[in-house]
Amino acid sequence: MVNTSIKTTKSQEIFAAAQNLMPGGVSSPVRAFKSVGGQPIVFDRVKGAYIWDVDGNQYIDYVGTWGPAICGHAHPEVIAALQAALEKGTSFGAPCALENVLAEMVIAAVPSIEMVRFVNSGTEACMAVLRLIRAFTKREKVIKFEGCYHGHADMFLVKAGSGVATLGLPDSPGVPKSVTSNTLTAPYNDLSAVKALFEANPDEIAGVILEPVVGNAGFITPDTGFLQGLRELTKEHGALLVFDEVMTGFRIAYGGAQEKFGVTPDLTTLGKIIGGGLPVGAYGGRQDIMSMVAPAGPMYQAGTLSGNPLAMTAGIKTLELLQKPGTYEYLDKITKQLADGLLVIAKETGNEACGGQISAMFGMFFAPGPVHNYEDAKKADANKFGRFHRGMLERGVYLAPSQFEAGFTSFAHTEADIEKTLQAAREVMSSL
């Protein structure tokens, strides 16, 4: 099915050609629109809260390149800083002062981080932090939660979220059982299941890793006491607590979900926003743990482009912009207007829906709800979500192309953009 009411000739041509060049015509699976149907639009340029596709159609963007564009796409101050940095080269492969600057900002912002290592993606950060917790505890098992996504490293592709959930991939082929046998899973928000895993695997569990607010099974918030309960259980059993804040870091609050909920893990992974749109990931935490990382310690992890001056520059400028007073209050206000508005419209148009928002992250399921975990999320009407997604796209609103993703706002979004989005939602939901 192709967009009926907007011209997408060039998108179709380019995407058709891409099919013969790259698997599925994309560089990352979720972009292929498999779960929402139809063909993806091909982007030409982005600015602020908007996208223009190669056919000249404009959209209000609620994906924000999956999170990094919290200041709006191509923010003039980020672009200017990058232009200046470019004059000095693109990559050094050697220490540079910019790494110190971004490291100091991250350490100052994130409660759990006393020392940090930069990498090039969230996947790398999560891979490295898993190796680190195993090295530090000398244990091999790890607990993750169904529907949570921590990048595509082998040991995490067990009941993962995001594109794995979107495509209904079981544990991906190519992942050896020997690798996933040490990955234990529990339903999100289920402390008793975690307690049972610890009791069944005494002194074997290196740590627990989770999205403190889930964005990869759709938007799912932690039940009251869940995060604190995990903090206590991990301490009790000599295991480490890892918050994967690749998505929530600097989005839920400047100090991430750990600041918002007042629960401090032992280690944190970051990505997306700290790169300001360039490839960056990071992991960090207690100094006694991080000092195990080579060359300070024996745990090996490396990367050609880690800490490169362009990515550091974009991250530094982005965090500087986020420090402006009132930023998070504004993000919370407009995102609440959007999320609440969508639920009111769903109710008024006879569509069962649930969802909500925290700061600049939101989500909605076509389900009566509440959605506490991945099993609940899978009960949502994904086909209806696909029709909703297509209808919104045809009205100039670009939502994440999967029920198993979250939505993101930026401080470039205006109240007029929110109103226009809600108007489109009313039209579409009236015809679902």
Active site residues: 149, 244, 272
Residues 6+ apart with CB under 8 A from 349: 426, 429, 430, 432
- Looking at the Cβ atoms of 66 and 261, the one nearer to ligand KE4 is 66
Smallest distance, Å, CB 65 to ligand KE4?
A: 9
Neighbours of 286 (CB within 10 A): 17
Smallest distance, Å, CB 347 to ligand KE4?
A: 27
Residues 6+ apart with CB under 8 A from 177: none
> Does the CA dihedral 263-218-59-120 come out positive or negative?
positive
> Does 149 sit near ligand KE4 (CB under 6 A)?
yes
> Does 126 sit near ligand KE4 (CB under 6 A)?
yes
Q: Per-residue contact track with ligand KE4, 349 to 388, x per CB under 6 A?
A: ----------------------------------------
Q: What part of residues 247-286 is at the interface with ligand KE4 (CB under 6 A)?
A: 247, 271, 281
> Does 244 sit near ligand KE4 (CB under 6 A)?
yes
Which residue shows structure tokens 């067990």? 158
- Looking at the Cβ atoms of 145 and 198, the one nearer to ligand KE4 is 145
- Looking at the Cβ atoms of 360 and 428, the one nearer to ligand KE4 is 360
Q: Report the SS3 class of residue 405.
A: coil
> Does 163 sit near ligand KE4 (CB under 6 A)?
yes
Q: Give the Cα-Cα-Cα angle 259, 260, 261 (nearest 5 degrees).
A: 95
DSSP H helices in 245-308: 256-261, 287-290
Peptide bond into 309 cis (omega under 30): no
Which residue shows structure tokens 């402006």? 324
> Does 164 sit near ligand KE4 (CB under 6 A)?
no
Q: Tell me the window of 119-127, 227-235, 333-341, 419-427 that interacts with ligand KE4 (CB under 6 A).
A: 119-127
Q: Tell me the window of 46-54, 102-110, 120-128, 129-137 that interacts with ligand KE4 (CB under 6 A).
A: 120-128
> Does 122 sit near ligand KE4 (CB under 6 A)?
yes
> Does 146 sit near ligand KE4 (CB under 6 A)?
no
Q: What part of residues 180-219 is at the interface with ligand KE4 (CB under 6 A)?
A: 211, 215-216
Site size toward ligand KE4 (CB under 6 A) is 21
Query: In angstroms, how far is the first alpha carbon of the chain from the final one?
Result: 16
Neighbours of 348 (CB within 10 A): 11
Smallest distance, Å, CB 31 to ligand KE4?
A: 6
> Does 407 sit near ligand KE4 (CB under 6 A)?
no
Q: Confirm if 209 and 242 have CB atoms less than 8 A apart.
A: yes
> Does 40 sit near ligand KE4 (CB under 6 A)?
no
Residue of closest CB approach to ligand KE4: 122
Rounded to whole angstroms, what are the CA distances from 322 to 67, 359, 410?
Answer: 14, 13, 10
Rounded to whole angstroms, what are the CA distances from 86 to 48, 90, 390?
Answer: 22, 6, 39
Contact set with ligand KE4 (CB under 6 A): 28, 30, 66, 121-123, 126, 149-151, 162-163, 211, 215-216, 244, 246-247, 271, 281, 405
